[in-house]
Amino acid sequence: MEITPLPFDRELNLQELLTGVSLERLGGILKALLGGDFRLVGADGRCLLGSEEPYAQPRRAEIHHDLDLLGQLESASADETRLSATAAMIELMLRLSARYHMAAELHIETVHEDFAALQQKHAALTESEARYKALSGELEARVREQIKIIESAQRQLYQAEKLASIGQLAAGVAHEINNPIGFIRSNLSTAQQYVSKLGALESVMQTGNMSQFQSAWKEAGMAFLLEDFTALLGESVDGADRVTKIVSDLKGFSNVDQAEAEIVDLNDNLRFACNMLAGQTRDRVELVMELGILPKIMCLPGHLNQVFLNLLLNAAQAIADQGRIEVRSEVAGSEIHIRISDNGCGIPEKNLDRLFDPFFTTRQVGSGTGLGLTVCRDIVQAHGGRIEVKSKEGMGTTFTVILPAG
């Protein structure tokens, strides 16, 4: 309920000053003091306490407060002295009541002013809150827009890193295939010459002269030709088998973008990745695999292939001339540990904490996106795992991919 404050120093009438006073008790006291009935009348002539009926010949005593006439006390039985004393007592009571009213209304006025000030502050805070809500909504919209832009840029960068890996993979595969194709092509050319020499003997053989045929056979070196031809065919078959194996391994990397998970043996993925690396580093890096028995797990094999290939390529690039890369897998408790170690240049301690930061790279500008290890970490984390790294500058580095075993 809202209370409208009144000026605390306003002039009060007799009825207002009697507010809060027990009129029944006051009436009993006045009746006892005056020895009979009485009338307490306001300045407007309205009876406020006592007999409603006016007296025929009453005695009156005026009641003042701060020199203002508030009313009269009338009695038909009391003498002048008693009436004046009683009126004086009423004035004294009214003075105390006036002080009470003044204090109460001053308190109400102060509280009302404070309340009005609080309402103003509340209104200001409400307006400020609405302004900040609008600003917050605008900022959230901007943040969402920036997140979309960043996510789009991140996808493009990840795609660039993936293409870089595929490019390195393609270069290795091309080198690996080119070698057997080269000697198969050379063998076929030689075989073609052998067949041509063999065809030249046909005319001699048709003469039926065995001595002439044997002489021509010996002169053409057909004994060596047949022996070498067999070797050429065997070597070409081995070359074709190598190409077949490369193609088979390459299929493991043909599903990099495959979104459906499969149950796989990670050792197979490691073998594929190592075979892809071997074609590029056979002449300078000794690649050693010690693969333990692993439980098959549900995963995105193409994505993990990219992780293993990236780590193997990093290990190979850390070896300047001749070196060694060791690939180990084992089960440790409820986890699968895959370690890829090299004895290359190692990583300075100051860079270890930044290895997985996006765009951090120690290579020359333009030689990498700086996202390789970031992509590896994100892929492993998406599979519920983690990557740990230990390195000592000049001694080599070991990356450990840790994945849940089940």
Residue ranges of domains in the chain: 14-121, 256-405
Whether the per-residue pLDDT at 400 is higher than 90: the answer is yes
Q: What is the pLDDT of residue 257?
A: 54
Bridge partner residues of 398 (DSSP): 341, 390
Token pair 């006892």 is at which residue?
A: 32
So what's the pLDDT on residue 301? 86
| Inter-residue long-range contacts of 310-314, CB under 8 Å, 24+ positions, other chains counted | 310/165, 310/372, 310/373, 310/375, 310/376, 311/340, 311/376, 311/399, 311/401, 312/273, 312/274, 312/276, 312/277, 312/340, 313/165, 313/168, 313/277, 313/372, 314/372, 314/373, 314/399
- Classify domain 256-405 at the CATH topology level: Heat Shock Protein 90 (3.30.565)
As a whole number, mean pLDDT of residues 36-58 equals 89
Position 222 scores a pLDDT of: 85
Q: What is the pLDDT of residues 304-320, one digit of tens each?
A: 888 998 899 889 988 98
Res 254: pLDDT: 61
According to the model, what pLDDT value does residue 163 have? Answer: 72
| Mean pLDDT score, 249-264 | 69
Q: In the predicted model, is pLDDT for residue 220 greater than 60? A: yes
- Contact criterion met (CB below 8 Å) for 338 and 400: yes
Do 401 and 335 form a contact (C-beta atoms < 8 A)?
no
Buried-exposed string 257-269: b where 16+ CB fall within 10 A, e elsewhere: eeeeeeebbbbbb
User: Thinking of the domain 14-121, which architecture would CATH place it in?
Assistant: 2-Layer Sandwich (3.30)
What was the pLDDT predicted at 324? 94
Instruction: Read off the pLDDT of each residue in 377-406 and give the average, rounded to a whole number.
Output: 91
Q: Which pLDDT value is given to residue 255? A: 58
Q: How confident is the model at residue 282 (pLDDT cuts 50, 70, 90)?
A: confident
The pLDDT score that the predictor gives to residue 380 is 92
**Overall average pLDDT of the 246-255 stretch:** 68
Give me the pLDDT at residue 2, please.
60
What confidence score (pLDDT) does residue 350 get? 84
**pLDDT tens-digit map of 157-197:** 777 766 776 776 777 777 778 888 999 999 999 989 888 88
Res 283: pLDDT: 80
Question: In the prediction, which pLDDT does 38 show?
Answer: 92
Global pTM value:
0.53
For residue 153, pLDDT beyond 60: yes
Strand partners, 327: 289, 340
**pLDDT, position 313:** 87
- The confidence band for 363, taking pLDDT boundaries of 50, 70 and 90, is low
In terms of Cβ atoms closer than 10 Å to its own Cβ (0-12, 13-18, 19+), residue 256 is: middle
User: What's residue 337's pLDDT?
Assistant: 96
User: Is the pLDDT assigned to residue 202 strictly greater than 90?
Assistant: no
Q: Rounded mean pLDDT of 234-253?
A: 81
59 in helix, strand or coil? strand
